[in-house]
Amino acid sequence: MEVMAAETGKTLDQSDPEISEAVDFAHYYAERARDLDDVDGASFSPVRLTVVTPPWNFPVAIPAGSTLAALAAGSSVIIKPASQARRSGSVMVEALWAAGVPREVLRLVQVDERDLGRRLISDPRVDRVILTGGYETAELFRSFRTDLPLLAETSGKNAIIVTPSADLDLAAKDVAQSAFGHAGQKCSAASLVILVGSVSTSQRFRNQLLDAVTSLSVGYPSDPATQMGPVIEPAAGKLLDGLTTLGEGESWLVQPQQLDESGRLWSPGVRDGVKRGSTYHLTEYFGPILGIMTAATLEEAITLQNDIDYGLTSGIHSLDSREIDTWIEGVQAGNLYINRGITGAIVQRQPFGGWKKSAVGAGTKAGGPNYLVGLGSWSPRQSTATDAPLPGAAPLLTAARAAGLSGTDLARLERSAASDAASWNSEFGQVKDISALSAERNLFRYLAHPVTIRLAEGAPVADLVRVLLAARAADAPIAVSSATELPDALRTVVEAQAESVTTEDDGAWLARAASLPVRRVRLIGQDTAPLAAATGGRPDLAIYAQPVTESGRVELLPFLQEQAISITAHRFGTPNALTDTII
């Protein structure tokens, strides 16, 4: 905690939970590592080397979590802490060495961000990179190596909606806390508050927010009374512009002030009158600035939230269950928070990771049940599941028989359908609250995600059918591209399931793929390199190219996206059932 305060300006109330989070990661990933040996229908193999490139804003918890995940998955690790947090990262690594992690397995490096950093990231001996940082950094890494296996949690531009039914006092407190904790330097921080209907003109809410913001004690962590510390470096560029320049129609409700000559210590700022589509609405500033937007209806407010390219955290304050239901089903973000702040995710309780441009790669959440699944490779083995196939599997299995697939292939498909059903019934089809707290509901669920499926030249049609079974189990929207002309009986069923079915050779597919507005592709029978090269290494395109297995636990994941929902389930200490009938 002392090192974090001295090096990154982190106040003690912010660094204390960070240590707890690092400890939680160690325990949680150790338990999840055991699960990797017991996946039905697939065998896990670790990769040899993972490079971890963590951020400076969580200088211990995120480096620890990423490193511990890779180690738990059986990989050796090279960690390169952010230059602004080198000492914090070094203390964390020394703690792991002291705990018994061999130095030959975990290496700490301090290299510059230019030539040596580029050589490290692009080296073909690196099997995977875990990045937490800006989306621009993910683009930079992929420019080094277009087929780089990159798992990243990137940027966020997060908003809290406040409706007329909200507890306005609680909302003001949570908005201020979410916006200005660690000087707004959290990817999960509230950068916007969207006021709905009468809250837009509520002087009471604005006064409460004004009081909450202006009463914050701003200083350096050396003063124990400090509530908001400095920014990591002297404000410059985009952040300085956000602290000093208003957009058209905007005004300062609270104008930020530079408090000393260092350029690092600023009082918090609140800008009013932020318009839809404005620079402030759509840009991540990563500092102590909050913008106020207004909306006539909840639906309009949700649109303002979803306009943003990122989808990391989102919040709502409302005591109307119908409003909460509308919001949950309409908002596009990986972590949802209801009647509470939108920062401070806890391992297992609120697995962390976003949607859209807030996630690169598989999209599995840190501190969640699937994070380790994406840190190695999977090979087929025979499923032992005995669950009855889900109803949607029947047409595909019937078509496969009519298409004349071999008995061996048909038996494999039937086992795969059973494994899909087992995984759906036990995990993917459930909304779970593992923590089961009485004062807070922490729900974890899976939603269908659109995927383009590509069967490459020479790949067996049976593999396509197996992947289609997984897509059908997840009820995911799909498009199919096949290098092989499908048998008539099978094509009829596939056309009924898919939004489009195209027959094209590998060259035509790659030429067309470069312009497709898709975010996920399931490749069958081809590695990622040609598609990654054709699409320029786009970070927002996730390519799944692992061998096709019988495992529902593995094969359904490309067709699902994870969402964590945290709900305050009490009023002044008295439990309530506000959301029990919604989800």
Alpha-carbon distance values, 23 to 50, 93, 367, 535 (Å): 21, 13, 12, 39
User: Do 237 and 264 have their domain in common?
Assistant: yes
Q: Which of 324, 357, 390 is the last residue of a domain?
A: 357
User: Do 277 and 365 have their domain in common?
Assistant: no
CA dihedral 168→169→173→178, nearest 10 degrees, is: -10
The three-class DSSP label of residue 172 is helix
User: Do 406 and 538 have their domain in common?
Assistant: yes
**49 occurs within a structural domain:** yes
Q: What mean pLDDT comes out for the span 390-406?
A: 96
**568 occurs within a structural domain:** no
**29 occurs within a structural domain:** yes
Q: What mean pLDDT comes out for the span 303-322?
A: 98
pLDDT at 433 > cutoff 90: yes
User: Do 79 and 179 have their domain in common?
Assistant: no
pLDDT at 113 > cutoff 80: no
d(Cα 568, Cα 529) in Å, to the nearest integer? 45
**578 occurs within a structural domain:** no
The three-class DSSP label of residue 520 is strand
- Tell me the pLDDT tens digit for each residue of 173-207: 999 999 999 999 999 999 999 999 999 999 999 99
User: Do 420 and 542 have their domain in common?
Assistant: yes
Element (H, E) at 150: strand 150-153
At 112, the pLDDT band (50, 70, 90 cuts) reads confident
User: Do 397 and 437 have their domain in common?
Assistant: yes
pLDDT at 114 > cutoff 90: no
**Which residue of the set 153, 250, 284, 550 is catalytic?**
153
Is 121 in contact with 145 (CB distance < 8 Å)? yes
Residue 349's identity, in one-letter code, is R
At 111, the pLDDT band (50, 70, 90 cuts) reads confident
User: Do 280 and 412 have their domain in common?
Assistant: no
The three-class DSSP label of residue 133 is coil
User: Do 277 and 205 have their domain in common?
Assistant: yes
CATH number for the domain harbouring residue 13: 3.40.605.10
User: Do 546 and 412 have their domain in common?
Assistant: yes
Alpha-carbon distance values, 479 to 508, 526, 535, 551, 559 (Å): 16, 17, 18, 22, 12
User: 573 exposed, middle or buried (CB, 10 Å; 0-12, 13-18, 19+)?
Assistant: exposed
**Which residue of the set 187, 284, 440, 562 is catalytic?**
187
Element (H, E) at 158: strand 158-162
Alpha-carbon distance values, 222 to 7, 9, 226 (Å): 12, 9, 8
Active site residue 187: yes
pLDDT for 341 equals 98
Tokens 């309409």 label which residue? 330
User: 100 exposed, middle or buried (CB, 10 Å; 0-12, 13-18, 19+)?
Assistant: exposed
* CA nearest to 308, candidates 538, 133, 515, 154: 154
Q: Which three-class secondary structure string do you get for 285-314? A: CCCCEEEEEEECCHHHHHHHHHCCCEECEE
- Tell me the pLDDT tens digit for each residue of 464-517: 999 999 999 999 999 999 999 999 999 999 999 999 999 999 999 999 999 999
Active site residue 299: no
Measure CA of the first residue to CA of the last residue in the chain; give whole Å: 39
Is 164 in contact with 155 (CB distance < 8 Å)? no
d(Cα 484, Cα 505) in Å, to the nearest integer? 8
User: Do 220 and 90 have their domain in common?
Assistant: no
Paired sense of beta strands 150-153 and 359-360, if any = antiparallel
CATH number for the domain harbouring residue 339: 3.40.309.10
Number of structural domains (the chain) is 3
| Complete edge-to-edge strand list for the sheet that includes strand 128-132 | 106-108, 76-79, 49-53, 128-132, 150-153, 359-360
Query: Which two three-digit tokens encode residue 382?
Result: 């025979």
User: Do 138 and 181 have their domain in common?
Assistant: no
Query: Can you count the helices (H) and strands (E) in the chain?
Result: 19, 26
**567 occurs within a structural domain:** no
Characterise 246 by phi-psi region: left (phi > 0), alpha (psi -120 to 50), beta (else): beta
Average pLDDT for the chain: 96
At 299, the pLDDT band (50, 70, 90 cuts) reads very high
d(Cα 159, Cα 192) in Å, to the nearest integer? 4
**582 occurs within a structural domain:** no
**472 occurs within a structural domain:** yes
At 115, the pLDDT band (50, 70, 90 cuts) reads confident
**571 occurs within a structural domain:** no
User: Do 218 and 138 have their domain in common?
Assistant: no
d(Cα 12, Cα 16) in Å, to the nearest integer? 6
Structural domain containing residue 12 = 2-154+361-372
